[in-house]
């Protein structure tokens, strides 16, 4: 397989976005469905500020999406590719 430099760079950025345990834990929580920042923070034992900071990076990489409802913002996994990538990675770690 031949991979161009721009695509290789984009793929490296994707894996870099997944290289933080807090971001992985956020994605794991979102695998169960859409959640607010407050619910994520409570479930992870993190501050809302810390969760928001991590979500910003995940949004920039199109790993999660946001939906506003009034003053609250709800996050979910962006698409099936993200879910499959997470599941495959977790499978590899658990069986490796």
Residue pair 59/65 in contact by the 8 Å Cβ criterion: yes
Residues in CB range of 21: below 8 A, 6 or more apart = none
Answer yes or no: is 1 within a domain.
no
Task: Describe the strand order of the beta sheet including 35-36 as a list of residue ranges.
Answer: 35-36, 72-77, 64-69
The tally of domains found in the chain comes to 1
> What CATH number is given to the structural domain containing 75?
1.10.10.10
Q: Model-level pTM greater than 0.75?
A: yes
Domain range for 81 is 19-91
Alpha-carbon span 67 to 77, nearest angstrom:
11
- State pLDDT tens for residues 22-42: 999 999 999 999 999 999 999
The string of pLDDT tens digits covering residues 59-86 is 999 999 999 999 999 999 999 999 999 9
């Amino acid at each position: 397989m031949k991979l161009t430099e721009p695509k290789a760079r984009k793929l490296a950025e994707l894996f870099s976005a997944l290289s933080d345990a807090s971001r992985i834990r956020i994605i794991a929580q979102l695998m169960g469905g859409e959640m607010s920042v407050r619910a994520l923070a409570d479930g992870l034992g993190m501050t809302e500020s810390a969760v928001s900071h991590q979500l910003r990076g995940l949004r920039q990489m199109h790993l999660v999406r946001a939906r506003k409802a009034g003053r609250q913002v709800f996050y979910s996994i962006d698409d099936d590719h993200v879910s499959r990538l997470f599941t495959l990675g977790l499978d590899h770690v658990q069986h490796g």
